[in-house]
Structure 1
Amino acid sequence: MALETQILACLSTGHVDEQTARELDALIQYPLPIAARDVPAIWQGQIVAERWQEYGWFVWVQSPGRDGMPSSLQACLAMAEAAGADWIQFDRDCAPIGELPVHEW
């Protein structure tokens, strides 16, 4: 049996807009019912995310429902996917990159 490995992309939390950051925080603190996964229009019910430290998140790059997600999150997922990453670690201490917009909040 071989060890399974995955690639983690590290991005600044500043690459998501303030509203999306608040929604990710709320989703992690108050998860939606499993039934929300059956409603594609509710992106918060589709995304696979978890808290990282106090100020960040882990987000699965292949989370379903990307079309309904906020554009700032879509851009981050697309960039991570193009780089071959399986997960994104959003961290406020990670330096922003020039290829993605930075949102001041």
Structure 2
Amino acid sequence: MAENSVVTKMLEISNAHISEETSNWLDNEINNENSVLVVYQKLQYGWFISLPEDLVDGEVDYITVPEDLIRIIEFAKSENCTWVMLDRDAMTILELPIFDW
């Protein structure tokens, strides 16, 4: 690996861990320049969410972020991840609720 390379950790998790409402919220955040989160569409089946350092350190106001997504972010932070990938084909985990939609 190059001396100046940076390697980051990504939590890959099923989008079954978010509600349908949160799915819609994420779709709206993709083009929202004032969003608290940086959200990218993952083709048609999920999202990539960057967890910048200020978010990882808990300094960002979560008021507009849905509670189910906050739980995922907190779990990702506890695993030292700087990215979350929500994907319909990813595995579910026992630590988080599952939504049936």
Whether the TM-score (by the shorter chain) exceeds 0.5 is: yes
Letter in 2 for 1:24: L
In structure 1, what is the Cα distance between the partners aligned to 2:65 and 2:88? 21
Aligned pairs (5 A) from 1:1-105: 1-28=3-30, 31-32=31-32, 34=33, 37=34, 45-62=35-52, 63=55, 64-105=60-101
Alignment: residue pair count:
93
Structure 2 length as normaliser, TM-score?
A: 0.83
Q: CA RMSD in A?
A: 1.5
Query: After TM superposition, which residue ranges in structure 1, 4 or more long, deviate above 2 angstroms?
Result: 61-68
Cross-structure match for 1:41: none
Q: Could you tell me how far apart the structure 2 residues matched to 1:75 and 1:26 are?
A: 19
Q: How far off its partner does 1:67 sit? A: 3.9
CA contact (8 A) 1:47 1:65 kept: no
Between the aligned residues of both structures, percent identity stands at 26
Following superposition, the deviation at residue 68 of structure 1 comes to 3.1
In 2: Cα distance, 1:68 partner to 1:24 partner: 11
Task: Give the number of the structure whose residues are more often helix, by fraction.
Answer: 1
- 1:40 corresponds to: none
Give the conservation status (yes or no) of the 8 Å contact 1:66–1:74. yes
Amino acid aligned to 1:5: V
Q: Provide Cα deviations, 1:11-42, integer angstroms capped at 9, x if missing partner.
A: 110111110101112332xx23x4xx3xxxxx
Contact 1:9–1:88 (8 Å) recurs in 2: yes
Question: Which structure 1 segments of 5+ residues have no match?
Answer: 38-44
What is the identity, as a one-letter code, of the residue corresponding to 1:50? Y
TM-score, length basis structure 1: 0.80
| Cα distance in 2, alignment partners of residues 82 and 67 from structure 1 | 20
